[in-house]
Amino acid sequence: MARRRRGLRVLWSFNAQQGCWYPAVGLVLELRARGHEVVGLSRPTVAPTLAALDIELRADQMSPWPSDLGLDDQPPTDLDQALRRKNHVVRAHRDHVAGLLKQERFLPGGAIVVLSIPHGMVLPRVRAAVATGGLGTVTRTACAGRPAVLVPRANDQFRVAESAVAAGMAVRVLPDDVDEERLGQALDQALGDRRLVHAGDRSSGSLRPV
């Protein structure tokens, strides 16, 4: 008897003002149709939309703005204040997402969430990378001599993932096959298959980031 695939609990962090809003809704509906649970992370203003989609919302908890940012219901006084407001909102969203990840036990104790960090600082410290297959991430992973698990979603990611598999440095999981069990199997393979590890070592000797 075939074993029933276990659904994922997906935390969906998004900005409703960005152009990715509508494609993201389509992706969320597809995940729901496949039996996965989706929790939205965004501003309270999108609550009616998510309620109509029957998606739980964990709204950002914004801390009060510092006085130098002005009143939150007034437009910024200049470009500098506008940029500082943007940074405040982004950091508040990061902290909110980090808290939820820990609350949902997606992250172990002591883990941190950052806005961004250079690949070159992180990849040499890991045993394997899990990514969608963007060219930059895969190239840096190869430069670091690490194997990868790639789950391509769009654009050139499928071709990049295919090339990484052909080079022997990656395991590819197609979108239709993604679930907790399959990802776990792919990561076990990346960590335990010496051919993948050695391929990563060979790549690091022939590639150098620019």
Q: One digit per residue, pLDDT tens: the chain, 210 residues? A: 344 455 667 767 665 555 455 556 777 777 778 777 777 766 666 777 777 777 777 766 666 778 888 877 788 888 988 888 888 877 777 777 777 777 766 666 666 666 667 888 888 888 889 888 888 889 989 888 899 999 998 788 999 999 999 988 999 999 888 877 888 899 999 888 877 766 655 555 554 444
Given CATH 3.65.10.10, say whether it is the number of domain 119-206.
no
User: Please, are residues 182 and 173 in contact by the beta-carbon 8 Å criterion?
Assistant: yes
* CATH 3.40.50.2000 domain span(s) along the chain: 9-103, 119-206
Chain CA centroid to CA 137, Å:
12
CATH of domain 9-103: 3.40.50.2000
Closest CA to 151 of 179, 168, 130: 130
**Confidence (pTM):** 0.56
DSSP bridge partners of 10: 38
